[in-house]
Amino acid sequence: MLDSEYEKEHMFNQIKREYGERLDDEQLKSIKENLDAVISALEQIRKIQLDNRDEPFIIFKPLTGFQK
């Protein structure tokens, strides 16, 4: 089994374990199909080579107060 297939199965089993009693078969099928897009996005992100010194693109600056 490919790593991505294993990861997809793992995610699906986690969701099923957590929410399975509240979801019907059609919803579970839909979740499994939508996980393909999630896995595809993860594979693309993992292809990006980062060096330890690479900084985030956007630096987060929290709002600390309101200006008048």
Is residue 41 one of the residues assigned to a domain?
yes
Is residue 62 one of the residues assigned to a domain?
no
Name the domain count of the chain: 1
CB contact at 8 A, 3 and 34: no
Is residue 56 one of the residues assigned to a domain?
no
- Residue-by-residue pLDDT tens, the chain, 68 positions: 468 889 999 999 999 999 999 999 999 999 999 999 999 999 999 999 989 998 877 877 788 877 65
Is residue 67 one of the residues assigned to a domain?
no
Tell me the Cα Rg of the chain: 19
pLDDT of residue 68: 59
Show the domain range for 7: 3-46
**Model's pTM, two decimal places?**
0.66
Length, in residues, of the chain: 68
